[in-house]
A = this chain, B = another copy of it.
Amino acid sequence: MIDLAGRGKAVLAVVLEEHGGPDVLRLREVPDPTIGPEEVLVEIVSTAVNRADLLQRMGLYPGPPTEFEIPGLEFAGRVLAVGDRVVERGVGDVVMAITNGGAYAEKIAIHERLTMRVPDHLPLDVAGAFPETFITAWDALVVQGGLTSGRWALVHAGASGVGTSAIQIAKSIGARIIVTASAGKHHVCESLGADVVVDYTTEDFVDAVKKATGGAGVDVVLDVIGGEYVARNVASLRTGGRVIQVGLMAGGSVEFDVGSLLMRRAAIIGTTLRARPLEEKIMVTRRFSAEMLALVDSGVLAPVIDSRYPLADIADAHRRMESNANAGKLVIEVAPV
């Protein structure tokens, strides 16, 4: 048991006291978070499960060193208190944000400049499933990949949280997108407007890319798979194209012909959101807010919700993602709206 003597009020959080299967996700009381002068204290209404959380739970992707290892990379909620130097947020504001951990909890302390306003069209009980995959997909496709109107993207796991975000982003900026997904999830990708949906179990996505792009190849690949996809991703690129590698579900050790990069004057760029320092997280968040939240206001972008779980049942949400059964986001409801 955690000794809370002398720590004041306690809140419930999912604390990793060991690493392993979903059963290690257990609710515990932890001390009320204390806020620094530029931070706000947020009562979390919703959060969501991300692939990185599964790795962290298994001990394969350690979070930053903290007293209590609380996973959770995104959330939405109400501001309960603000630090002395906070200027942009006030008590009662509704906000959402990415964080490098701590969102599987009733409360969190976060730098005020990391918080975004919650757009009108985004209910607070699902807004906690919005920031991580939309910022990840936008940063990968647009900022690092240079996706613009008219250009082509290839995105694997099209029905995943990142995939469903990527399709919406690509279509909302006038770009064209090819996604891979298993047959049972094609309708999700198609309903979001994906130009081409490839069944990776029966079709070669390199062939599908060539066919769709008239032999030219795509401008950017967003890949969470890795493994034997790496070489095929490069083979799918047009001259000057880029693979943005945001995950390695099939592993990172590959045999690879670097000559295929030279021939295309192409690049493979590794990226993660979580590992970035605070100032970089703030910068990407603020640019995303400026460029993309208007599209949530107008109803163009919205998280695709697969299912909802109360915080106490978060292990079930992990099991569902682990079995690749989900299409879209697994929302965790922490408090009533």
Chain A residues proximal to chain B, CB less than 8 Å? 226, 230, 245-248, 252-272, 275-276
Contacts and interface: CB of A to CB of B under 8 A. Distances in A.
A30 B266 CA distance: 37
A194 B220 CA distance: 37
Tallying the copies of this chain within the complex gives 2
A9 B254 CA distance: 56
Grouping DSSP codes into helix (H, G, I), strand (E, B) and loop, the A interface class, with mixed when no group exceeds half, is mixed
A263 to B, nearest CB: 7
A246 to B, nearest CB: 8
Nearest to A269: B267
Contact of A272 (B246, B247, B265): B265
Instruction: Please provide the 7 A-B residue pairs with the shortest distance between their CB atoms, ordered closest to farther.
Output: A261-B270, A252-B259, A262-B270, A267-B269, A252-B258, A252-B257, A253-B257
Contacts of A260: 252, 270
A215 to B, nearest CB: 17
A240 to B, nearest CB: 9
Contacts of A261: 245, 268-270
Contacts of A268: 258, 261, 267-268
Contact of A253 (B248, B255, B264, B271): B255
Contacts of A257: 252-254
